[in-house]
């Protein structure tokens, strides 16, 4: 049984003081929720402070991005060596990184391999834009992203990683994909592609989140779908009550300790 995972991507929000206040506000309730993995992904500047606050909890910490080199003349970059001291997870290939910072499929693949080398679990983002969706290219595009991201990995590594299906047209727009539609893409396209590359065992083991305008009001629709193993939450994770509610609802529906 796949353990559901709810991750909050804070994006470029919260100063250190604001981050610690948010964590203190949600920490106790979030930690008490059983049967679902909880991950907070604050900005780099707040990772150390948040890590300290999470030490005595079951809540995990993730970074929003990572460079593929361990060290060197890469001004402004953050290496896996810097993250492994603090984090358990790292988001790789988010659509905003692809759109605004030139992230490529090849770069995603390199980072995924480096993450594993340093004991970090990658959360790999895939998803199509509105034009691709309306042109009927979703399956081809998403399958291609999955193949590129996982190229050269071992089946055992694939079983450990997390994938996030984020239709780009649903991110931050307040217009989520339908739960049934997201479930179909995750089951047929993402798991189907993994199965063709690594076998059915790997396809059934890998956890796949849905991301894109997830909030307490709609999370139940997504969590009741059999192929969706959690959510990569954006805006709603910046409010303690909303993120706790999302995690609690996910645990009630999909929790492994029910």
| Residues 47-57 pLDDT 10s | 999 999 999 99
Tell me the residue range of the domain where 131 lies.
Answer: 5-254
pLDDT grade for 255, boundaries at 50, 70 and 90: confident
Instruction: Give the span between the Cα atoms of 42 and 12, in whole angstroms.
Output: 8
CATH number at residue 220: 3.20.20.70
Mean pLDDT on 110-125: 98
pLDDT at 258: 53
Q: Which residues are catalytic?
A: 94, 166
Domain total of the chain = 1
Q: What pTM was computed for the model?
A: 0.96
pLDDT at 170: 80
What angle in degrees, to the nearest 10, is found between the helix axes of 47-54 and 16-32? 30
Q: Please, are residues 237 and 8 in contact by the beta-carbon 8 Å criterion?
A: yes
Of residues 175 and 11, more confidence is placed in: 11
Q: Tokens standing for 169?
A: 């047209």
Q: Please, are residues 229 and 254 in contact by the beta-carbon 8 Å criterion?
A: yes
Per-residue model confidence as pLDDT tens digits over 69-111: 999 999 999 999 999 999 999 999 999 999 999 999 999 999 9
pLDDT at 130: 87
Residue in the block written with tokens 């993120």: 243
């Amino acid at each position: 049984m796949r353990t559901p995972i709810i991750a909050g991507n804070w994006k470029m929000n919260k100063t250190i003081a604001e981050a610690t206040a948010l964590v203190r506000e949600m920490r106790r309730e979030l930690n008490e929720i059983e049967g679902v993995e909880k991950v907070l992904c604050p900005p780099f500047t707040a990772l150390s402070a948040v890590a300290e606050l999470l030490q005595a909890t079951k809540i995990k910490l993730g970074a929003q991005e990572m460079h593929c080199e361990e060290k060197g003349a890469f001004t402004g970059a953050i290496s896996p060596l810097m993250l492994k001291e603090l984090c358990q997870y790292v988001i790789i290939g988010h659509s905003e990184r692809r759109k605004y910072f030139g992230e490529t499929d090849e770069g995603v693949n390199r980072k995924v391999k480096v993450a594993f080398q340093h004991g970090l679990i990658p959360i790999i983002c895939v998803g199509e834009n509105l034009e691709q969706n309306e042109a009927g290219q979703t399956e081809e595009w998403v399958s291609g992203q999955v193949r590129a991201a996982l190229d050269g990995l071992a089946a055992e590594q694939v079983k450990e990683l997390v994938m996030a299906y984020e239709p780009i047209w649903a991110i931050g727009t307040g217009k989520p994909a339908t739960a049934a539609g997201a479930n179909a893409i995750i089951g047929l396209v993402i798991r189907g592609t993994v199965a063709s590359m690594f076998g059915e065992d790997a396809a059934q083991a890998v956890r796949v989140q849905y991301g894109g305008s997830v909030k307490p009001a709609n999370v139940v629709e997504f969590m009741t779908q059999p192929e969706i193993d959690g959510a990569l939450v954006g805006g709603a994770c910046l409010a303690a009550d909303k993120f706790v509610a999302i995690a609690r609802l996910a645990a009630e529906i999909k929790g492994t300790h029910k």
